[in-house]
Amino acid sequence: MTIVTARHSTGASAATATSRSTGLSSPLTAGIGEVVTGIRLGADLPSEVITEIRALLLDRKVLFFRGQDHLDLDGQVGFGRLLGELTTAHPTVSGVQESSHVLPIDSEAGRADSWHTDVTFVVRPPAFSVLRAVTLPPTGGDTAWANTASAYQGLPAQLRALADGLRVVHTNQYDYARPVAQQGDREQAHYQEFVSEVFETEHPVVRVHPETGERALLLGGFARSFPGLKQREFNALFQLFQDRITAPENQVRWSWQPGDVAVWDNRATQHYAVNDYGRADRQLQRVTIAGDVPVGPDGVRSRALVGDVAAYIPGS
């Protein structure tokens, strides 16, 4: 049972390989994103298939599975468990009623239309996320991902050396979901829940990936300061590095269809939910797999400044 990569097979050989395989994958760009077909996600996938999915995920950063209409909430949770230890839904936001592991992504409560890596304000950000489409707008509502490892590799040597030595503080007192006067009660309530407990964590700006050894930039919308530097210096340097991450050549953009599931490596990506669908309803459900404590090129680990993750990551 194998996943055959389309870019390595052509013509008749590809058709033959597919007939003997569990699935077929094909890249969306040269640097990030892969579509996988022929695999039915769930808690009963064989271990060898999970091993191949994980290897492909580490290589391509985000995988897209079409046609998973059979998958319900329990199946999504069961599949997530095959990738590793699950977190609860979120450090501060409640999960869906049926499961403490599933976070509802609901456009009426807020729209994550800013580049970010999930939950970087805790000392152990998630390793992987599994996102399942539930209700989609008739048009728009895409999600874009950016490869933070290729962004680091593309930096000039002088900027890589600068980034290697920087530390950054992340916090959930963030900007992109901050309510404004015209927002409704649900947005206000969501924000208050999001900041009901404050978290702050100091991370290396460059983390060494624990499985691939790649170096990746650890920034995004929860980053707030570089210790020892003035705020205006943070703003300038942050934007310099962030612009490198979100350069078009580092991105892949996914147009959701019913039955779609996306799985990404949270340690080497940022993502952005495109807010271009007006007042239409958009709902997805997310399961996250616990990650490790980031380590910088100098071997120094991240450290929690404010907040306790014990309730978010059982056993931590």
Confidence band (pLDDT; 50, 70, 90) for 178?
A: very low
Q: What is the pLDDT of residue 7?
A: 59
Check pLDDT > 50 for residue 177. no
* Other beta carbons within 10 Å of 158: 8
- Average pLDDT rounded to a whole number, residues 137-153: 97
- Provide the phi-psi class of 135: left if phi over 0, else alpha when psi is between -120 and 50, else beta: beta
pLDDT band at 12 (very low <50, low <70, confident <90, very high): very low
192-242 pLDDT, tens digit per residue, is: 766 768 899 999 999 999 999 999 999 999 999 999 999 999 999 999 999
Mean pLDDT of 18-36: 81
> Any idea what the Cα angle at residue 285 is, between residues 283 and 290, rounded to 5°?
150
Strand, coil or helix: what is 20?
Answer: coil
167 in active site: no
The pLDDT of 141-170, averaged and rounded, is 98
SS3 of the chain: helix, strand, coil, percent, to 5: 25, 25, 50
Q: Catalytic site residue 118?
A: yes
Strands 143-147 and 3-5: unpaired
Question: Three-state DSSP class for 247?
Answer: coil
Which pLDDT tens digit goes with each residue over 243-258?
999 999 999 999 999 9
Average pLDDT, the chain: 89
Tokens 């300061």 -> residue: 225
Catalytic position from the list 116, 132, 190, 215: 116
Q: Of the given ranges (9-23, 55-69, 256-270), which has the lowest mean pLDDT?
A: 9-23
- pLDDT confidence of residue 162: 98
Give the pLDDT score at 9: 39
Give burial (CB, 10 Å; 0-12/13-18/19+) of 193.
Answer: middle
pLDDT reading at 52 higher than 90 = yes
Q: Is the pLDDT of residue 314 over 90?
A: no
Percent pLDDT > 70 in the chain is: 86
Q: Are 260 and 107 in contact (CB under 8 A)?
A: no
Strands (E), 125-230: 128-135, 143-147, 167-171, 200-204, 206-208, 215-217, 223-225
Q: Which run of H or E residues covers position 175?
A: none
Of the residues 106, 118, 260, 265, only one is catalytic, namely 118
d(CA 229, CA 214): 27
Q: What is the pTM of this model?
A: 0.90
**What distances in angstroms separate CA 81 from CA 2, 98, 241, one per listed residue?**
20, 16, 34
pLDDT over 80 (residue 190): no
Q: Write down the pLDDT at residue 113.
A: 82
User: What's the confidence (pLDDT) of residue 15?
Assistant: 34
Supply the pLDDT for residue 174: 65
Which amino acid is located at 1 in the chain? M
Residue pointed to by tokens 């209409």: 69
Higher pLDDT, 306 or 182: 306
Let me know if 132 is a catalytic residue: no
Q: What is the model's pLDDT at position 186? A: 66
Query: CA angle, 63 as apex, 62 and 64 as ends, to 5°?
Result: 125
57 has a pLDDT exceeding 70 = yes
Asked whether residue 189 carries a pLDDT value surpassing 60, the answer given is: yes
Q: Annotated catalytic, 81?
A: no
DSSP string, 269-289: EEEEE---STT---EEEEEEE
Would you say residue 82 has pLDDT above 70?
yes
Torsion of CA 35, 95, 119, 172, to 10 degrees: 140
Residue owning tokens 């997805």: 284
Q: Kindly tell me the sign of the dihedral angle through the C-alpha atoms of 112, 116, 120, 126.
A: positive
Q: Is the pLDDT of residue 31 over 90?
A: yes
What is the reported pLDDT for 148? 98
Domains belonging to the chain, first-starting first, are: 3-306 (3.60.130.10)
Res. 175 pLDDT band, cuts 50 70 90? low
